[in-house]
Amino acid sequence: MNIQSLLLKEAKSDWRLYTTGILCMFLGVQARLTTPIFIRLIIDEVLIAKSPDNLLLYCLSIILIAVFAGFFNYGNRYFNDKAAETTTFRLRNQIFEKLQNQSMGYLNKQETGQLLTKSTSDIDIIRSYLAREFRIGLNSFYYYISIGIIIYFTQPRFLVIFLLILPVLFGISFVYGVKTRPLIRESRRYSGVLSNHIQESIESIDVVRSFSRETHEIERFERSNDNYLKLVLKSQIIRGLTLPVAVLIVSLSSVLILYFGGSQIITDPNSKITIGQLIQFNLYLLELTTPTRLLGAFIEGYTRVNVSGERVFGIIYSEIEIKERNNAISLEKLDGKITLSGVSFGYESEQKILDNISFTVNAGEIIGFLGTSGSGKTSLINLIPRFFDPTEGNVYIDDIELRDYNLEFLRKNIGIVSQETFLFSRTIRENICFGKIDASDEEIIAASQTAQAHNFIMEFPDGYDTIVGEKGITLSGGQQQRISIARSLLINPKILILDDSTSSVDATTENEIQIALDQLLKNRTTLIVTQKVSSLRKAQQIIILENGKIIESGDHITLMQLKGIYSKIYSTQEDPKLKEELNIILEGDK
- 440-451 pLDDT, tens digit per residue, is 888 888 888 887
Residues 247 and 385 occupy one common structural domain: no
Residue 325 lies in a domain: no
Residues 277 and 153 occupy one common structural domain: yes
With H, G, I as helix, E, B as strand and everything else as coil, classify residue 218. helix
Residues 469 and 508 occupy one common structural domain: no
Answer with the one of 466, 492, 518 that is the final residue of a domain.
492
CATH number of the domain that residue 550 is part of: 3.40.50.300
Residue 577 lies in a domain: yes
Residue 322 lies in a domain: no
Residues 279 and 384 occupy one common structural domain: no
Answer with the one of 260, 284, 316 that is the final residue of a domain.
316
Which among 471, 489, 486 has a CA at the least distance from the CA of 425? 471
Residue 323 lies in a domain: no
With H, G, I as helix, E, B as strand and everything else as coil, classify residue 181. helix
Residues 102 and 179 occupy one common structural domain: yes
Q: Are 126 and 7 in contact (CB under 8 A)?
A: yes
Q: Are 81 and 17 in contact (CB under 8 A)?
A: no
Residue 326 lies in a domain: no
Residues 504 and 487 occupy one common structural domain: no
Of all helices (H) and strands (E), which one includes residue 252?
helix 214-267
Residue 69 lies in a domain: yes
Residue 150 lies in a domain: yes
- Local confidence pLDDT in tens for the 590 residues of the chain: 688 888 889 888 899 999 999 999 889 888 888 888 888 888 888 888 878 888 888 889 889 988 998 899 899 889 999 999 999 999 988 888 888 888 777 777 777 777 887 888 888 889 988 988 888 888 888 888 888 888 777 767 777 777 777 787 777 777 776 777 777 777 777 777 777 777 667 666 666 666 567 787 778 778 888 887 887 787 777 766 766 777 777 777 777 777 777 777 777 777 677 788 778 777 877 777 777 777 777 877 888 888 888 888 888 888 888 888 888 888 888 888 999 999 999 887 677 889 999 999 998 888 989 887 788 888 898 899 998 889 899 999 999 999 999 988 888 888 887 767 778 878 888 888 888 888 888 888 888 888 778 888 888 888 888 888 766 677 877 788 788 888 888 888 889 888 876 655 566 666 666 665 665 666 789 898 887 777 777 788 999 988 889 998 888 888 888 888 888 877 777 655 544 543 444 344 44
Q: Are 524 and 356 in contact (CB under 8 A)?
A: no
Contacts of 136 (CB under 8 A, 6+ apart): 294, 297, 298
- Interatomic CA distance for residues 288 and 163, integer angstroms: 12
Q: Are 354 and 137 in contact (CB under 8 A)?
A: no
Q: What is the pLDDT of residue 67?
A: 92
Quote the number of domains for the chain. 3
Q: What is the pLDDT of residues 487-529, one digit of tens each?
A: 888 888 889 888 876 655 566 666 666 665 665 666 789 898 8
Residue 250 lies in a domain: yes
- Interatomic CA distance for residues 467 and 177, integer angstroms: 50
CATH number of the domain that residue 263 is part of: 1.20.1560.10
Q: What is the pLDDT of residue 87?
A: 92
Q: What is the pLDDT of residue 394?
A: 93
Domain that holds residue 445: 421-492
Residues 266 and 349 occupy one common structural domain: no
Q: Are 555 and 541 in contact (CB under 8 A)?
A: yes
Q: What is the pLDDT of residue 147?
A: 80
Residues 409 and 430 occupy one common structural domain: no
Residues 427 and 479 occupy one common structural domain: yes
- Bridge partners (DSSP) of residue 499 are 529
Residues 483 and 516 occupy one common structural domain: no
Residues 307 and 247 occupy one common structural domain: yes
